[in-house]
Amino acid sequence: MLVIVAPGQGSQTPGFLSPWLELPGFRDRMEWLAAVASMDLVAHGTTSDAETIKDTAVAQPLIVGSGLISLLALFDHPADGFQAVGAGGGHSVGEITAASAAGVLSAEQAMVLVRERGKGMAAASAVRDTGMSAVLGGDPDEVTQVLARHGLTAANTNGAGQVVAAGTVEQLQALRDDPPAKARVIPLPVAGAFHTEHMAPAGQTLSRYARAISVHDPRTPLVSNFDGSVVQSGREVLSRLVNQVRNPVRWDLCMQTFADLGVTGLIEIPPAGTLAGLAKRALPGIEILALKTPDDLDAAHRMIREHAPLEESTESPSWRLVVAPVKGMIAPTPEVDAEAHVRAGQVVASVTTRRDTHEVHAPYSGQVIEWLVEAGDPVNPGQPVLRLHPTEDSP
């Protein structure tokens, strides 16, 4: 079984995106995601210095956007990924990447959500000087006791003997002066006490936005940071993404779930390295790849073939997607209900914007499998709205 994981903040390094933009079409896609995020992600991933990309409001959209475009190099079609990947997960902000990859959010929705997440967390961080430090080694019980004594939160429990403490700069200095026995304390290049109550204002803002976001159930099992459980409901995934900003990340439980699911191979997408390192210590005996540059793609494709072989078939695909042409509110055509047959070019829905109404046409003939949206749902351009089973006259 193959697992794909997406890293969180702190994994970015200056220039890490440069080799990916040399692949055909990747710069165009990144520029589009940059437009959605309202910032120059191409520059931040290629020429911006370490201090610039440390900024929470920059780092988070950069990490999610980079992860999403790297997935284009792994699978020719999203449906291939849904079939091949046994489970997915993301660390902290990487959960947004994972949710989009699993079909819960569109890429555009993910970029808007991470843009507002980064801005909100940056603003919350500015209220008081806070930060995070990694605590490596030591007795787990003693580490817990020492953090509590200093008023710190175990914001990330990453497994393999790594806990990330979060709190005020004074509390973190006290930890460095009085660490747990046989443990090292390493300050991290992040600008706030993420996944603690210091981030409550950001969580409140995201909660308001979430009420306007239309989601779909994951098409690949998603393992949650909150408790390591597999979440099957798209609304539940979104709720956890919102609450995650002020609650600890239990990556140790995620890795335990991967083990319980029977993972044999794990690929970490860019900016890769951190989660692969944790997995090497916590998941012995499985094949692990940090997908850092396009030079690693041959190894990634081999792993997909060996750990998640796609069934070869000469038959027509079992389903195809109809997508929204514009952003707006969707209204499915009443007669196009469950199991209805539609012909190529038929109007299956309409999307109403502030200015006019656009028809949604089926690009091929087929039988309705399921609607992925309901009447009145907001949709984005390119968002899947309907699944069809192709018929003989499909292209």
What pLDDT, in 10s, does the model give residues 255-298?
Answer: 988 988 889 999 999 999 999 999 999 999 999 999 999 999 99
pLDDT at position 236 is 87
320-390: CATH class: mainly beta
Q: Tens of pLDDT along 201-260?
A: 999 999 999 999 999 988 888 999 998 888 877 888 999 999 999 999 999 999 988 988
pLDDT at position 10 is 87
Both tokens of 276, joined, read: 């692969």
Both tokens of 318, joined, read: 């079992």
**Residue 315 binned pLDDT confidence (cut-offs 50, 70, 90):** very low
| pLDDT over 90 (residue 95) | yes
2-124+197-307 falls under which CATH superfamily?
A: Malonyl-Coenzyme A Acyl Carrier Protein, domain 2 (3.40.366.10)
**In this structure, which topology does domain 125-187 adopt according to CATH?**
Alpha-Beta Plaits (3.30.70)
Single-letter amino acid, residue 226: F
> What's the burial of 353, exposed, middle or buried (CB within 10 Å: 0-12/13-18/19+)?
exposed
Distance CA 368, CA 214 (A): 21
This prediction has a pTM of 0.77
Domain boundary assignment for the chain:
2-124+197-307, 125-187, 320-390
Terminal Cα-to-Cα distance of the chain (whole angstroms): 33
Indicate which residues carry an active-site annotation.
92, 195
Quickly list DSSP for 302-353: HHHHHHSPPPP-SSPPS-EEEE-SSSEEEEE-TT--TT-EE-TT-EEEEEE-
Both tokens of 126, joined, read: 């500015």
